[in-house]
Structure 1
Amino acid sequence: MSAAGSSSAPVPHNALPPPSGSSARTSRIASHSHIKGLGLSGEGLASNDNAGFIGQTNAREACGVVVDLIKSRKFSGRALLLAGAPGTGKTALALAISHELGVKVPFCPIVGSEVYSTEVKKTEVLSETFRRAIGLRIKETKEVYEGEVTELTPTEAENPLSGYGKTVSHVIVGLKTVKGTKQLRLDPSIYESIMKEKIVVGDVVYIEANTGAVKRVGRSDAYASSYDLESETYVPLPKGDVHKRKQLVQDVTLGDLDTANARPQGGQDIMSVMGSLVRSGRTEVTEKLRREVDRVVKGYVDQGVAEVVPGVVFIDEVHMLDIECFTYLNALLESPMAPTVILATNRGRSLVRGTDDIVSAHGVPVDLLDRCLIVKTETYSREQVAKVVQVRANVEGLKLGSNVLDRLASEGEKASLRYALQLLTPASILAGLAGRTQIELEDIGELNELFLDAKTSARAVNTTDGGFNGGLP
């Protein structure tokens, strides 16, 4: 290497730059770590550089309209198709839509080739993905007793099963809140739970009236000491009455309910547990079970106990699905409990997989295309490539020397945006080996000697007589 060779001592080929700090916590930076949302104004207009996005203003504004349709529950039965060349931000747009919808909305991304499995049918994989993208928010009202323990008195009686020893017949627990006190007479099984939680007088506890479950919240702050370091968690005295109603909210998906009901429960002995661990393969959920789960869920929704939260299914490389999957996808979109579906493809007119004679735009049959709102992503200009490279450099904490950004922008324009981004981290490694803290032009030049971009490699194969094997058969 030219940069490494300039130093007096040779640098080993597997050398690494010294870590910036042994105590510094590093996290993995993903391909779309810089995407935080669509970056739209209150009027739905896209600024040129916002929320990690550069350019693609028309596509972002179109996705903003789709987000509004999803939030108003008026996008069911339709799909969004993101079409454009590789590296133009289709996956980034899908992730941005999920960010805009919020963390509580299920987002299930898959690739078209994931449906092909030797264990499970293609239609089953699609159906399972759709079920995982439909959330269920269950609102449960529970009766609870909450307060500071003022009394804990077990009452013993003669053991009826034996003439020796005594057993706990019941336990008296006194609870105190800001509003008043109450004395409870509890079952001996609840006393066992109290002992397991190591509850003593002065602790703040939470007892469910229906199940008898006991939870220790912490120590009452009336017992707080003036130590600088405390080994105990002190909590304030609960407000309101000792006996109260609390509303608990739990988020699950229909896929979770299907899996929980499909798995055989078996016994609790060691052989049953080992058998469930050793048993391999995925279990297909029957349509009968799904209908039963849907019936129960509908009952909860009608009672007002639960609320359905439709999520998003994102199918990347949708042209990899075959004609059977596309047919089943049409049926899933018409389901009354269908999530929002986002498709992405970089194909033009191509053969629909699984057929010999059906050629269609984007490799998707016409009947499914007819259900889609289609959004086109544009290729990036040289200025936009430079901005994207700068954003990624900031996210990865890399410093760029003079004219490096222009050089990477020209590489991105000549080859592809992805190639320009891929050069960033290797260039920082070369700079570190040469003892520099920022990337210089010579690092980019050296990388061009070490690596080929896709277009250069394709030209080399086309111009070589017979490919790389020198024309040998």
Structure 2
Amino acid sequence: MTSTPSTSTSAPVAHNAVPPPSAPSAGRSPRIASHSHIKGLGLTPEGFAAIDSAGFIGQTNAREACGVVVDLIKSRKFSGRALLLVGAPGTGKTALALAISHELGAKVPFCPMVGSEVYSAEVKKTEVLAEAFRRAIGLRIKETKDVYEGEITEITPTEAENPLSGYGKTVSHVIVGLKSAKGTKQLRLDPTIYEAILKEKIVVGDVIYIEHQTGAVKRVGRSDAYASSYDLESETYVPLPKGEVHKRKELVQDVTLNDLDAANARPQGGQDIMSVMGSLVKSNRTEITDKLRREVNKVVQGYVQQGVAEVVPGVVFIDEVHMLDIECFTYLNALLESTMAPTVILATNRGQSLIRGTSDIVSPHGIPVDLLDRCLILRATVEGLKLGAGVTDRLAAQGESSSLRYVLQLLTPALILAQLAGRTQIELEDIGEMTDLFLDSKTSAFNLSKGPGFEGGKMW
């Protein structure tokens, strides 16, 4: 299922959204990790995988299938559904999931975890899963505010005698000069805003904006008038803001539902959902109640209906999913049925396996059959393609041997392939390619049980 935000022409509800924290400094060298070389799926505009591209070598079928999934996610036709990556260790399951996240872009939340993480001594197993899902559901907030924006030309604090004691002085106010393309303005600001300026390490020459209503200060970057001749720098240079210093500006910020949950678990300074967004929990891990999450959902839905916010379903990646037990799988099914559920990518290297938490239930990949029916199973090994006599006959035969739900889930990605080929209807070759890329649970478990040396298989 997918959540498509509705738009209303009514006036936006009033709220005081705190801008998101600034990005970390780019001056620090990135850590070289196992999958640092993965930059994407390495697909052509037509959806075909190059032999050596974006950090991948080979595994073309799997990458092309993931490309179809990326298209489905971007078109909001895959939310609340699951993709299962199946393959022996070292076949690139985690790399494929990471590549999908790169293809979706930084604005789409991506939450990776390992199945064993749910066994925490601090919170319940279901709470760990719920938190991962909420971290993968983004909320893009758009609002128009009165702001003062410009390049800083002056920061002059004015001191006065401390009224609480006879020793020392305190800042009574601060004079800040701002310059834009159409003029300059000198502002007399509160001492608390001066503290925010010091906290953001703002100096003369920086481009900032100050919200008129809340006094929140945001550093945009360094004015490009101060740009040097260096080829590489950690500083971000921005042009001088256009228009007047005092203006109405549309501000966009991206948060997750888990950010809102955590902020409201221990609210500080206000009761409005958006006003406490920045008060994230920094102490010991707190278990958030379902009642609180329902209240957050109600407020979020209100903002969506008012046109203030947009829900952005992201991706949850659960590696070693066979480590989950029957209780987690049952809860996972319930989470997938939510109207705001993200896309779920599961990965495992098990064949026929006992479901954890049971004594006698054996299932493909150690996953309950009802959850497998929700999955498009993408193999990490390649087999030959087989075609039937016709599309209807092919679907009927496939549904008879696997399940009707599996066959129905093949139709949407098959249509994408048909459109890439310039057709408006699904042909037999599209169904054939889909059954080659996405397997039913019985076939994938059988192939995996035969190991990497099975006939027609190839490992990279």
Relative to the length of structure 2, the TM-score reads: 0.61
CA distances 1:23-77 after superposition (whole Å, capped 9, x unpaired): xx98643222222211111111122222222222221111111111000000123
1:243 equivalent in alignment to 2:246: yes
Residue 54 of structure 1 corresponds to 57
Q: Decide which of 361, 365, 386 is 1:362's aligned counterpart.
A: 365
- Mapping 1:179-328, distance limit 5 Å: 179-180=182-183, 206-213=209-216, 238-263=241-266, 265=268, 280=284, 282-328=285-331
**How far apart, in 1, do the equivalents of 2:226 and 2:38 lie?**
48
1:78 equivalent in alignment to 2:84: no
**How far apart, in 1, do the equivalents of 2:224 and 2:43 lie?**
47
Conserved? CA contact 1:190–1:213, under 8 Å:
no
How far is 1:137 from its partner? 1.5
**How far apart, in 2, do the equivalents of 1:57 and 1:200 lie?**
51
**How far apart, in 2, do the equivalents of 1:127 and 1:305 lie?**
25
Conserved? CA contact 2:145–2:211, under 8 Å:
yes
Residue 120 of structure 1 corresponds to 123
How far is 1:94 from its partner? 0.9
In structure 2, the CA distance between the partners of 1:295 and 1:182, relative to structure 1 (3 Å rule), is same
In structure 2, the CA distance between the partners of 1:371 and 1:177, relative to structure 1 (3 Å rule), is closer
In structure 2, the CA distance between the partners of 1:241 and 1:123, relative to structure 1 (3 Å rule), is same
How far is 1:214 from its partner? 5.9
Residue 371 of structure 1 corresponds to 374
* Partner secondary structure for residue 317 of structure 2: strand
Conserved? CA contact 1:112–1:316, under 8 Å:
yes
**How far apart, in 1, do the equivalents of 2:93 and 2:300 lie?**
34
How far is 1:117 from its partner? 1.7
In structure 2, the CA distance between the partners of 1:241 and 1:329, relative to structure 1 (3 Å rule), is same
- Mapping 1:402-441, distance limit 5 Å: none
How far is 1:145 from its partner? 2.8
In structure 2, the CA distance between the partners of 1:89 and 1:177, relative to structure 1 (3 Å rule), is closer
* Partner secondary structure for residue 103 of structure 2: helix
**How far apart, in 2, do the equivalents of 1:328 and 1:60 lie?**
30
**How far apart, in 2, do the equivalents of 1:375 and 1:134 lie?**
23
How far is 1:141 from its partner? 2.0
How far is 1:235 from its partner? 8.6
**How far apart, in 2, do the equivalents of 1:283 and 1:86 lie?**
35
Gaps in structure 1 of 5+ consecutive residues? 1-24, 162-166, 225-232, 267-275, 381-412, 415-419, 422-473
Residue 341 of structure 1 corresponds to 344
Residue 30 of structure 1 corresponds to 33
**How far apart, in 1, do the equivalents of 2:237 and 2:87 lie?**
57
Conserved? CA contact 1:132–1:254, under 8 Å:
yes
How far is 1:97 from its partner? 0.9
Q: Decide which of 87, 93, 97 is 1:94's aligned counterpart.
A: 97
Residue 145 of structure 2 corresponds to 142
**How far apart, in 2, do the equivalents of 1:243 and 1:304 lie?**
25
How far is 1:123 from its partner? 0.8
Conserved? CA contact 1:193–1:213, under 8 Å:
no
Q: For 2:312, give the aligned amino acid.
A: V
**How far apart, in 2, do the equivalents of 1:36 and 1:199 lie?**
34
**How far apart, in 1, do the equivalents of 2:30 and 2:195 lie?**
40
Relative to the length of structure 1, the TM-score reads: 0.60
**How far apart, in 2, do the equivalents of 1:195 and 1:56 lie?**
51
**How far apart, in 2, do the equivalents of 1:134 and 1:94 lie?**
17
* Partner secondary structure for residue 242 of structure 2: coil
How far is 1:211 from its partner? 2.4
How far is 1:239 from its partner? 3.4
In structure 2, the CA distance between the partners of 1:237 and 1:290, relative to structure 1 (3 Å rule), is closer
Q: For 2:366, give the aligned amino acid.
A: G
Cα RMSD over matched residues? Answer: 4.5
How far is 1:148 from its partner? 7.0
**How far apart, in 1, do the equivalents of 2:73 and 2:81 lie?**
10
How far is 1:306 from its partner? 1.5
Conserved? CA contact 1:137–1:307, under 8 Å:
yes
* Partner secondary structure for residue 106 of structure 2: coil
CA distances 1:123-150 after superposition (whole Å, capped 9, x unpaired): 1111111001111122232212345789
* Partner secondary structure for residue 112 of structure 2: strand
CA distances 1:368-414 after superposition (whole Å, capped 9, x unpaired): 1111101111189xxxxxxxxxxxxxxxxxxxxxxxxxxxxxxxx99
In structure 2, the CA distance between the partners of 1:148 and 1:59, relative to structure 1 (3 Å rule), is closer
1:40 equivalent in alignment to 2:40: no
Conserved? CA contact 1:168–1:188, under 8 Å:
no
Residue 110 of structure 2 corresponds to 107
Number of aligned positions between the proteins: 339
CA distances 1:71-101 after superposition (whole Å, capped 9, x unpaired): 0000123210111122111111111111111
Conserved? CA contact 1:79–1:343, under 8 Å:
yes
In structure 2, the CA distance between the partners of 1:41 and 1:152, relative to structure 1 (3 Å rule), is closer
In structure 2, the CA distance between the partners of 1:189 and 1:85, relative to structure 1 (3 Å rule), is closer
In structure 2, the CA distance between the partners of 1:243 and 1:123, relative to structure 1 (3 Å rule), is same
